[in-house]
Amino acid sequence: MLKVEQLCTEYTDERGRVVKAAQDVSFDVPTGKFFTLLGPSGCGKTTTLRSIAGLERPTSGEITVDGALVYSSAGRVFVAPNKRKFGMVFQSYAIWPHMNVFQNAAFPLEVGHAQANRREIRDKVMRVLDTVGLAELADREATALSGGQQQRLALARALVMEPRLLLLDEPLSNLDAKLRERMRFELKRLQNELGITTIYVTHDQSEALALSHEIAVMGEGRIVQIGAPRDIYDRPCNKFVADFVGTTNFIEATVLARENGADEYRLQCAIGELVARSVRPLARGDSALLSIRPEDIELSAHKPHGANVCEGTVQAKVFLGEYLDFEVSVAERVLLARVHPSVDCAVGQRTFLQMRPEKCVAINQS
Amino acid sequence: MQRSIDLKWAAIALSVALIAYLALVPLGFLLWQSFFTPRSAAKAAELTLENYRIAYASAETARLFLNSLQYAAGSAAFAFTVGALLAWMNERTNTPFKTLFFALALIPLIVPGILFTVSWIFLASPKIGLINLALQWVFSTDQVFVNVYSIWGMIWVDGLHYSPMAFLLMTAAFRSMDPALEESALMSGASVLQTARRVTLKLALPAIVATLLILFVRALESFEVPALLGLPAGIHVFTSSIYQAIHQYPSQIGLACAYGVTLLIITTLGIYFQSRVTGRGSKYSTITGKGFRPRPIDLGKWRYFTAVLFIAYLLLIVVLPFLVLVWSSLQKFYTPPSPGALQNLTLDPYRFVFNHAPLGNSVWNTIVLATGSATVIMLVTSVISWITVKTRMPGRWLLDNLASVPLMFPGIVLGLAMLIFYLNVNIGVYGTLWILFIAYLTRFLPYGMRYNTTSMLQIHKELEESAQMSGASWGTTFRRILLPLLKPGLIAGWIYIVIVSTRELSTSILLYSPGTEVVAIVIWELWENGQYVELSALGVMLIVALFMLVVAAQLLGRRFGLKEA
């Protein structure tokens, strides 16, 4: 459906320096899928989205929607943003303060080329306002809406013209935590129901993991890894992805040997010998970085059976309601373990740690 | 503990008293005098409506009213059109040399109105105007092409001089608009024109109306252009009529007051509507997102055209007026530029200026008045803005409003009101530098208030509270915490007040007496005496001095992180 190929976008900042915001960005989004660009601020995700929208003019590359070019540097094609028929929700929502709710949502139908008559507009607008739950507020001043309502109105405005593509630029970042969680479900439900191809930009990894069919993690203008949420979380391809998506423990290690499993290796590290998986093949003697998620570390008072067991001392314990965080020191390393609150272990007590080999990820460093 | 509370209340009481005195007393006496006959040694003042009868019964007043409106509306519309177009070109297009233009376009704001007007007389008067002479030479006729002594000439000169103000105000309006509002219209499928008409223009409407009203009120208050260009042509407006009523013999103070009150009512209405429009407009700016840099519109080849517009504008507003002053300042008596006149270049006017007895004194007066009033205003308004912003004191809105009362006063009406008050209440102020000092304090108080309020709003209450928790008294907190944090705003406001009080003419013209002239008055007197070349020499030096002050301020600002004035 959407095909982005080797997209590069640059701009000059106030001091006249050229900023390479997006470099060599390529990805494919099949029809009806929810695709997320995830990354820290300044990684080029918003620039990529704005290039797809046509609000930025890329320096090179190609963007195809439904087989039709909307941008191509080679073919000198640039379709103006108002001709692309994409719906977009901005981070600030960009609700026009001089119009009421209905007028805001009706605007795209009034200005487009295929202009509908009054009744059609009324029907379509009321239907979309109903979908987002704003039908009763149609006559209200747009400035009198709460943050969550503005966000829904922005979504209604983007959906009303039945766009080919829905572009969302951090639409949840201006909401408070509770509302954000609720809107996350709403968004997922709406996208499922309407089956609309959606490109989503966020710096919030839990949003990305919760919503997406596929995630592209970006850093410094480039795509670092593309994959399903589980792939990204369980099998990060490098330190940046492992660090950015979720919380993790990093341990430096050296490869000793290949284990019986196809992608399992035995490694030597500060806390002992461990067995871990690797996405890419490793050779003996390679230096690697182990990434172990805190929730994949199990604590027990008695020594358990199996591989990857070591012994440590509990240094600190934090109760967070849904889970307990332990800081455990093992051979002068401090590991973070996240366990069910029923686990009972006092500070200063000895404890055994076990990490299942398929949950330990070795990242090639050499 | 007891002492600190005392100090706080003493400072508050003193500021309130000072503000009330400065803002209300002249207003009261102006109203009073407009209903009374002048008091003389022989006769006490009597209640009368005669002043208003004379002012309103004559057909002359209807003319005066129409002239004033035509002049102010024309000047405001012209300044706005030029300023808004330039602001749009500078903010939203890819015209080359934008940053350089922004700096240069603000220069006219430091040039005193009287000098700008005089230089345009040199350029566009029917007899000696360079533009006429050049066009007559090209077409070899005697026809007069442009005449600055006309209502259109007045509108041209005043509108041009204040177009940088419109440029600044509209630039701020363009910058405060969230570009996503326009982008989302584009994404909705609206064409560029539809976006401009249905979103950009609608959103900018409050700012446009407010800017037009500010320019309109300011043009009504302007004195230099109506006096220098209007009076010779017999085109009278309120400000020039007030001046004439005072300066004829016997002076008609009552009539001047009736005019003054009328003008005051019009400007007050203008400012009232402007604040209402701005208040309503503020709801438009409540929703803002991360300011993504707006994409400048690519003008293609047209950007050379807009660059030419920039250059033409700078020629009209900076280069030509300054060059013609420089030329004139190098002559024995004013001669239009020609190869013959080039032989007669001389520095005599500069020698004259340096040996001109009243000048040294007037420079000293100007420096004392400008720095003195700037310092007092910035310190007093820092306390007042603290009261209005940081406290929940009952009646603080009144204080805020009182401090902005002087905004309504056109300069010449304020001069008139002060004149009446200190003539009637003899406390030894009239005829001394003090009356000018008090006038400047009153006139520029609102500027100090604006600078200090803006910076005060940015200081979090907790910074002060933590000083109190550390055991500091109110006085110490103010001196050690608030004043240092206010410093950038204090310095910027101080420099601004020094500049505007150096340019000041319309208030001083009614209040000076021999020995208390300021530089602007000396220029005025040179003009009255027909000493044009000497005036030009003094003008060139004044502009250079003010320019250096601004450059120094900019350099200082870069070092101390001073914000844009």
- Which residues of chain B make contact with A167, given a CB cutoff of 8 A? 187
Residue B198 contacts A where some CB pair is shorter than 8 Å? yes
Sequence-separated (6 or more) residues with CB below 8 Å from residue A196: A32, A159, A163, A165, A166
Interface of A with B in 71-90 (CB under 8 A): 80-88, 90
- To test the contact with chain B by mutation, choose from A10, A46, A78, A98 the residue with the greatest count of B C-beta atoms within 10 A, namely A98
Does A94 sit within 8 Å of B289, measured CB to CB?
yes
Dump pLDDT digits (tens) for B98-144: 878 888 888 888 889 999 999 999 999 888 888 888 888 888 888 88
For B189, which of A95, A154, A161 is closest by C-beta distance? A161
Tell me the average pLDDT across B86-101: 84
Residue A11 contacts B where some CB pair is shorter than 8 Å? yes
Dump pLDDT digits (tens) for A97-125: 888 999 999 988 888 766 678 898 999 99
Sequence-separated (6 or more) residues with CB below 8 Å from residue B487: B560
Task: Give the residue among A97, A104, A86, A108 at the shortest CA–CA distance from A153.
Answer: A104
Q: What pLDDT is stored for residue B105 in this prediction?
A: 83
Does A96 sit within 8 Å of B289, measured CB to CB?
no
pLDDT above 60: residue A138: yes
Tell me the average pLDDT across A134-152: 89
B181 CA to chain A: closest CA distance, Å? 5
**Structural element, H or E, at residue B453:** helix B433-458
What tokens were used for B557? 């600002």
Dump pLDDT digits (tens) for A11-61: 776 666 788 889 999 999 999 999 999 999 889 999 999 999 988 889 999
The torsion angle over the Cα atoms of residues A193, A199, A204 and A207, rounded to 10 degrees, is 10
In percent, how much of chain B has pLDDT > 90? 30
Q: Compute the distance between CA of residue A146 and CA of residue A175 in angstroms, rounded to an integer.
A: 10
Q: What is the mean pLDDT of chain B?
A: 84
Q: Is A293 or B555 the better-scoring residue by pLDDT? A: A293
The interface predicted TM-score of the complex, written ipTM, equals 0.76
Q: Compute the distance between CA of residue A158 and CA of residue A266 in angstroms, rounded to an integer.
A: 52
Q: What pLDDT is stored for residue B289 in this prediction?
A: 44
Question: Which of A106-110, B49-53, B206-210, B555-559 comes out lowest in average pLDDT?
Answer: B555-559
Q: Compute the distance between CA of residue A226 and CA of residue A235 in angstroms, rounded to an integer.
A: 11
pLDDT above 50: residue B408: yes
Q: Compute the distance between CA of residue B417 and CA of residue B426 in angstroms, rounded to an integer.
A: 14
Q: What pLDDT is stored for residue B5 in this prediction?
A: 58
Q: What pLDDT is stored for residue A230 in this prediction?
A: 93
Task: Give the residue among B547, B536, B117 at the shortest CA–CA distance from B350.
Answer: B536
Tell me the average pLDDT across B162-173: 89
Tell me the average pLDDT across B460-470: 79
Q: How many CB pairs under 8 A join A and B?
A: 97
Question: Which of A135-139, A310-314, B177-181, B506-510 comes out lowest in average pLDDT?
Answer: B177-181
- To test the contact with chain A by mutation, choose from B99, B186, B187, B194 the residue with the greatest count of A C-beta atoms within 10 A, namely B187
For B180, which of A92, A98, A158 is closest by C-beta distance? A92
B307 CA to chain A: closest CA distance, Å? 19
Q: Do residues A112 and A83 lie in contact, with contact meaning Cβ atoms separated by under 8 Å?
A: no
Q: Is B84 exposed, middle or buried (0-12, 13-18, 19+ CB in 10 A)?
A: buried
pLDDT above 60: residue A164: yes
What tokens were used for B254? 């009552």
Dump pLDDT digits (tens) for A233-247: 998 988 999 999 988
B458 CA to chain A: closest CA distance, Å? 22
Residue B297 contacts A where some CB pair is shorter than 8 Å? no
Residue A171 contacts B where some CB pair is shorter than 8 Å? no
Amino acid (1-letter code) at residue A269: C
Following DSSP, what letter does each residue of B488-537 receive, concatenated?
A: HHHHHHHHHHHHHHHH--TTHHHH--TT---HHHHHHHHHHTT-HHHHHH
For B295, which of A55, A91, A161 is closest by C-beta distance? A55
Q: How confident is the model at residue B44 (pLDDT cuts 50, 70, 90)?
A: low
Does A85 sit within 8 Å of B186, measured CB to CB?
no
Asked whether the bond before B250 is cis by omega within 30 degrees of 0, the reply is yes
Does B286 sit within 8 Å of A158, measured CB to CB?
no
Alpha helix ranges (H) inside A195-253: 205-211, 229-234, 239-244
Hey, is B349 helix, strand or coil?
Answer: helix
Residue A113 contacts B where some CB pair is shorter than 8 Å? yes
Chain B residue closest in CA terms to A94? B181
Following DSSP, what letter does each residue of A50-78 receive, concatenated?
A: HHHHTSS--SEEEEEETTEEEEETTTTEE
Dump pLDDT digits (tens) for B313-334: 999 999 999 999 999 998 888 8
Q: Compute the distance between CA of residue A312 and CA of residue B219 in angstroms, rounded to an integer.
A: 81
Q: Do residues B381 and B403 lie in contact, with contact meaning Cβ atoms separated by under 8 Å?
A: yes
For B187, which of A81, A93, A96 is closest by C-beta distance? A81
What tokens were used for A1? 């459906």
A154 CA to chain B: closest CA distance, Å? 9
Residue B58 contacts A where some CB pair is shorter than 8 Å? no
Does A96 sit within 8 Å of B203, measured CB to CB?
yes
For A90, which of B184, B203, B293 is closest by C-beta distance? B184
- To test the contact with chain A by mutation, choose from B90, B175, B184 the residue with the greatest count of A C-beta atoms within 10 A, namely B184
Q: How confident is the model at residue B498 (pLDDT cuts 50, 70, 90)?
A: very high
- Which residues of chain B make contact with A88, given a CB cutoff of 8 A? 183-184, 187
Q: Is A136 or A175 the better-scoring residue by pLDDT? A: A136
Chain B residue closest in CA terms to A81? B187
Tell me the average pLDDT across B550-556: 80
Dump pLDDT digits (tens) for B242-297: 998 888 878 788 888 888 888 988 888 988 888 888 776 555 543 444 445 566 77
Q: Compute the distance between CA of residue A21 and CA of residue A28 in angstroms, rounded to an integer.
A: 20
Does B184 sit within 8 Å of A88, measured CB to CB?
yes
B317 CA to chain A: closest CA distance, Å? 27
- To test the contact with chain A by mutation, choose from B102, B186, B188 the residue with the greatest count of A C-beta atoms within 10 A, namely B188
Dump pLDDT digits (tens) for B409-454: 899 999 998 888 888 887 888 888 999 999 999 999 999 998 898 8
Q: Do residues B444 and B373 lie in contact, with contact meaning Cβ atoms separated by under 8 Å?
A: yes
Interface of A with B in 134-163 (CB under 8 A): 143, 150, 154, 157-158, 161
Q: How confident is the model at residue B564 (pLDDT cuts 50, 70, 90)?
A: very low
Q: How confident is the model at residue A173 (pLDDT cuts 50, 70, 90)?
A: confident
Whole-prediction pTM:
0.79
What tokens were used for B308? 């030419």
Interface of B with A in 529-558 (CB under 8 A): none
In percent, how much of chain B has pLDDT > 70? 93
